[in-house]
Amino acid sequence: MYLVTEEQPNALEILCVRTKRTFFSDALEQRMEQFGATITINKELPDSLAAFTYIYVFYDTQMGRSFFKRLNALRKKIIVISYDSAIFEKINALVRSEHYEHFKFVNVEDTEGASEYVEKVVWFASTRSKEKGLNLEKSLKPKQAAETQKSVFQLPHMTKSRWIGLIIGIIFIIETFFVVPLGVAGYYLYRAGTALENQKPVAAQKFLRRGRPFVQLSEQAYAVARPLLSFFFITLLPENFIQTTKNGYEFTETVLIAKDTARQLFTLLLKVQKTPEEEAATSTMLSNMRTYVETLYRTSGSIKDTLTFEIEPLKKNSRSI
């Protein structure tokens, strides 16, 4: 395909029809001014178009078939610019079906990178080529995709101090992460105790079920952090907190179970004539109540011992003072 470019001896009069400014329209107008062209910008076609050699139309949804028919009747060099491939194909079909001889249409993406293709658009507008359409969207996308991929996977420059800071930060997160689920578990235990105090056993049971997974998560996270904490001799305090939380859950759960069992047991004890099944159930409940009492005694004692534990060096210092 041979392309012939026309040279204009005098300054060109160019009309730009657009309803709004875009990256590409600004770049195109600036380039035309560098060529020494006189540019007129209108939102719609003026009454007189005789002075204009080129008419650049930036497509808008308000432009219908009658608008393009009027343009074609002017016998000017008309370049329609769109920013959507679907509109580009629509204009392509319209131009071919209506046999618009003076039309050329270009499709670009309205981004800052599209300004690089202004030269191609100007060259395409000034040629005598029979080609009517120029789709630059495909040319833009690979480059933009490559730039996007580069920006996504490009890591910041890591100096020695940054690497040290990053490693210390990761170690700190690993060593202290168990505090987060432990705090959540403690919160739900507090809510369960408050509900139990207000005679709301159902709500207390709900809070205990929500908090149990966090107790397990804190134990698992602490198992990872414990070796390094042991090296610095700071395992006693976190282990006491975890054990106290576990005992608190066991104590509260046992209280709820014992309360429900006691209610059923009193009902059976007040019954004068019992069936063999009820007598067996009464015996089982009495045995279970003994177990519940032992559990309550053990967990409450463990909580008391943990909370009143004194570190030996601190104890000696306090006595000397």
Q: How confident is the model at residue 182 (pLDDT cuts 50, 70, 90)?
A: very high
What amino acid is encoded at 271 in this protein?
Answer: K
Per-residue pLDDT tens digits for 110-121:
776 666 778 788
> Residue 319 — very low, low, confident or very high, per pLDDT cuts 50/70/90?
very low
Site of tokens 């178009």: 49
Q: Read off the amino acid at residue 231.
A: F
Q: Residue 1: is its pLDDT beyond 50?
A: no
Query: Is 156 a residue whose pLDDT tops 70?
Result: no
24 close to 49: Cβ distance less than 8 angstroms: no
User: DSSP 3-state assignment of 218?
Assistant: helix
**21-35, 99-113, 184-198 — which is least confidently predicted?**
99-113
Angle at CA of residue 217, ends 215 and 218, nearest 5°:
65
Contact 153, 62 (CB under 8 A): no
Pick the CATH number of 13-140 from 1.10.4030, 3.40.1000, 3.40.50, 1.20.1250: 3.40.50
CB 258 within 8 A of CB 296: yes
Domain spans, the chain: 13-140, 160-311
Cβ atoms of residues 118 and 132 within 8 Å:
no
pTM of the model: 0.47
Whole-angstrom distance, CA of residue 93 vs CA of residue 299: 83
Sorted by sequence, the CB contacts under 8 Å of residue 127 that are 6+ apart come out as 3, 4, 5, 6
The residues facing 134 across adjacent strands are 106
The set of residues, in sequence order, having a beta carbon less than 8 Å from that of 248 and lying 6+ positions away, is 189, 193, 299, 303
